[in-house]
Structure 1
Amino acid sequence: MTNRLRLLSTAATVLIALGLTACGEDSADQDGGTWADGRSPAPATSAAAPTEAPGGAAAARPTGRPTESASTPPFTMPTKAAGTPSARSVVDAFKAAGLAVPNIRDRSRECGPDGVGIGCAQLVATDAVSVYVFPDEATASNQTEIWGNDAYRKGAVVLNYLGTKTSATERKRYDAVLAKLA
């Protein structure tokens, strides 16, 4: 009987602790605090929040998820160095040389903090090869070392073959076209 009472009192204590934890206030809820992104926490009510602020102006709430804190300066996409071919011109040179470039996609926006975030200035991907243009040769060289044998670099342009079925013979043809461009 004593073990049963001890078990029940332990179970009751755990349940009460869980209940209190779930009902507790966040530090941002106290005294009108704000979240890390600068927004004030919304009050917990069962009614839907109004879509317009008093006076007819739209509520000043950010849309989407923030990518940076208020203390971080805004992200600026790197730019390619003067004289470096663009990723699209490299892909066009592959086409002109008779190389396959199926399913061309401009994925330059993925160079920033919401994408792969590797510091590239431009990225054009195909099913055969991805073309990365970096702001400088040092960054391109560092990334080429990370990708190893699945990459080829000429100047600030890197060809990446990761995840493709491009044969070693075909890779040499793509590499040769880039070598003539850069």
Structure 2
Amino acid sequence: MTTPTPPPGWHPDPEGTPQLRWWDGTQWTSATKPRALQEGPKTPPSPIDPAIRRRNNLIAAGLIGIVVLGLGAWQILNTQGGGNGPAASEAAAIASSPSVASRESAPTASAAPTSSANATTDEVMRAFWLRVDREGYLTINVNGTYTDTELESAFLEVRRTYTSTKKTGGWHVFIDCGNGQQAVGGARQANGKFALDSLGAARTGLAVGQYEFEPLPNRKACPPDLPPIADGTVTAHDVIDAFAAAGLPATNRQDRTITAGCEDLKCAQMIAVDEVSVYLFSDVAQAAHYAEIFGANKVYQNGLLAIRYKRDGKHPIDEALIPQYNAALDAVGSVR
């Protein structure tokens, strides 16, 4: 008995697989599809002409290039005028709200993110410097006394930037008092953390997309109430410049004036490099008292200025250079 020839269309695969195979009226083709998508007989779609495919790809690439160029121009226009002062890395704003123990990233009807088109300078506090200390740890330095809401808006701006650019990890964020990106040791103003993925959730103890922000109560004023510096006074920066001019090592300059250490010593300025720290006092008696406390083998004083040498730690001073450092301080101190 002869098996009747099936009409052209989709039929159960004669090879026994759980799918349909196309019969063109004379033979089984290689075209298959899942049995659940079975339809009435139809002609398989004809292959796309290679020339048409290349043309479509070129058009798509051109459109993508136009979009990228447009986004780049928009970012340049939005970042112009920022100068070199403290600022967050991007211009879009996020509405701030009173801090709570934790929040989810999804917006709610009562607290939706504010678009950059409607943002005002009151909604996002951008007068800060951001520093990556190491993977998972960020420091925001501020040089001013800000409200809880303003500090939180700076934290949210950093979180928003990392959510759109970094997109991975978990980040602990410390907001400290500091004048510049590299300033360290300033009075802590607030703490926060956020998680962007499962690894970040494990690092921070938060759910993916969640964050926490905690402004510290009774925090010290920023900047602290430091002694004034009279006009024409040789500063600690002047001394470091003199070291460099004399060819002495003075690497990794950091302004540590806004720190608990300088405040406790009642110094007016503290500038540190890897080899030494230079202190400026507003009173000669206070400078002499500081030199007396730490001893002549560690501190050299000239008037309002004092050098403290690092004889141990990661970058100990070259003992043979100490007389040259002292001479450089004496020389710059006699200029004014």
TM-score (norm 1): 0.57
**Deviation at 1:146?**
1.0
What SS does structure 2 have at the residue aligned with 1:98? coil
| 2:306 counterpart letter in structure 1 | V
**Deviation at 1:168?**
2.7
Structure 2 residue aligned with 1:154: 302
1:91 to 215, 240, 255: 240
**Deviation at 1:115?**
5.9
1:132–1:158 Cα contact (<8 Å) kept: yes
Structure 2 residue aligned with 1:125: 272
| 1:129 counterpart letter in structure 2 | V
Question: Which consecutive unaligned segments of at least 5 residues does structure 2 have?
Answer: 1-103, 105-109, 112-122, 124-146, 152-189, 191-215
**Deviation at 1:114?**
7.4
1:124–1:130 Cα contact (<8 Å) kept: yes
2:224–2:258 Cα contact (<8 Å) kept: no
**Deviation at 1:80?**
2.5
Structure 1 residue aligned with 2:290: 143
2:262–2:268 Cα contact (<8 Å) kept: no
1:80–1:136 Cα contact (<8 Å) kept: no
Change (3 A) 1:98 1:142: same
Change (3 A) 1:174 1:115: closer
Q: Deviations over 1:97-135 (max 9, x none)?
A: 11111111111111xx47662111111101111111111
What SS does structure 1 have at the residue aligned with 2:258? helix
Change (3 A) 1:124 1:142: same
What SS does structure 1 have at the residue aligned with 2:265? coil
Q: Deviations over 1:150-176 (max 9, x none)?
A: 000011000001345213321110000
Q: Deviations over 1:48-103 (max 9, x none)?
A: 9xx98xxxxx9x8676322359xxxx952112244431111111111111111111
Distance 2:224 2:256 in 1: 17
2:229–2:282 Cα contact (<8 Å) kept: yes
Question: Bigger CA drift: 114-123 or 157-166?
Answer: 114-123
Change (3 A) 1:82 1:155: farther
Among all aligned residue pairs of Structure 1 and Structure 2, give the percentage whose two residues are the same amino acid: 33
1:67–1:114 Cα contact (<8 Å) kept: no
Change (3 A) 1:102 1:141: same
Change (3 A) 1:109 1:181: same
1:170 to 311, 318, 321: 321
What SS does structure 2 have at the residue aligned with 1:131? strand
| 2:309 counterpart letter in structure 1 | Y
Change (3 A) 1:124 1:109: same
Question: Which consecutive unaligned segments of at least 5 residues does structure 1 have?
Answer: 1-47, 53-57
> How many residue pairs align between the two structures?
127
For CA contacts below 8 A with separation 6 or more, give which structure has more relative contact order: 1
Larger Rg: 2
Distance 2:262 2:224 in 1: 13
- CA RMSD for the aligned pairs? 3.3
2:219 to 43, 50, 67: 67
What SS does structure 2 have at the residue aligned with 1:77? coil
Change (3 A) 1:81 1:145: farther
Q: Which has the higher strand share?
A: 2
| 2:253 counterpart letter in structure 1 | I
Q: How does 1:2-17 map to 2 (within 5 A)?
A: none
TM-score (norm 2): 0.33
